[in-house]
Amino acid sequence: YEAHILQGLIPEVAALVCVPQQNDKGECEGNVFEHTLKCMEHYPEEGFHYDWLGAMAMLFHDVGKLFTAEYFDGRWTYYQHHRVGAKVTRKILRRLHFAQEDADLICHLVNHHMRFHFMMTDRGIRRFKAVGETPRLIAMARADLQAREDSFTSFNHNMKYLGRAETPEQMLEPLLNGNEIMEETRLSPGPLVGVIRDALLQAQIAGEVTDRDSALAFVRQYAGNAAAD
């Protein structure tokens, strides 16, 4: 940057020095160029020491802020900077004669780098994993948060839910809801319905219950045993 080499090769990135960097509290923390360099320092810390493609994606991940920055009501916003940034990055990589497959990967990472920043549900995590390049996107999100010294609440939540994504979706919820259990067992609303519902889910996870018919049989038997006790 100081030798003006970056300004000649990638002026879009060099110009980020003019864009304020803001944390989640609305406080300015230098500029986006400085933030980008911090992100690139943190990215290799989680097992990506030789991942130059991920490092390049980190270099370009916020380039869209140059084109989307708006100051409104006392704070800066950069809406859709990831999508705009992916388009800008593709133009830059084409200009630098990058191989098509490398450019595709880097643009993919830039386009999706914000996904892991927001707290996700089970379905959201599954959609995230379907996007591809999950380890790199997680490493990018971690580096971004470390560079900003921001809260890891949403990040930690998503990391916990990653393991649940390995479980078949039908195993995350019982095959029968509370109303269906009461209808089948003729029970009145009460704690026992919740106990049966939890037991049904555990039976599904264990493979003892695999479809609706076996679920109905399971709740009838469970209710009968509970009545006998």
* Between residues 170 and 113, the one the model is more confident about: 113
- As a whole number of angstroms, the distance between CA 43 and CA 176 comes to 45
- Report which DSSP code applies to 134: H
Give the tokens for residue 32.
Answer: 């986006």
State the pLDDT confidence band at 201, using cuts at 50, 70 and 90: confident
Task: Identify the bridge partners of residue 61 per DSSP, sorted by sequence position.
Answer: none
pLDDT at 170: 53
- As a whole number of angstroms, the distance between CA 53 and CA 102 comes to 7
State the pLDDT confidence band at 127, using cuts at 50, 70 and 90: confident
pLDDT digits (tens, 9 = 90+) for 130-157: 898 999 999 999 999 999 888 899 999 8
Q: How many CB atoms lie within 10 A of CB 123?
A: 11
* Between residues 128 and 206, the one the model is more confident about: 128
pLDDT at 209: 85
Q: Where are the beta strands (DSSP E) in the chain?
A: 20-22, 28-31, 70-72, 75-77
Q: Give percent above pLDDT 70 in the chain.
A: 94
Identify the CA nearest to 128 among candidates 101, 153, 161, 104.
161
The full set of domain ranges for the chain reads: 5-164, 170-228
- Residue whose pair of structure tokens reads 């916003």 in the numeric block: 77
Architecture label for domain 5-164:
Orthogonal Bundle (1.10)
State the pLDDT confidence band at 165, using cuts at 50, 70 and 90: low
- Residue whose pair of structure tokens reads 């995350």 in the numeric block: 172
pLDDT at 211: 87
Record the pTM: 0.72
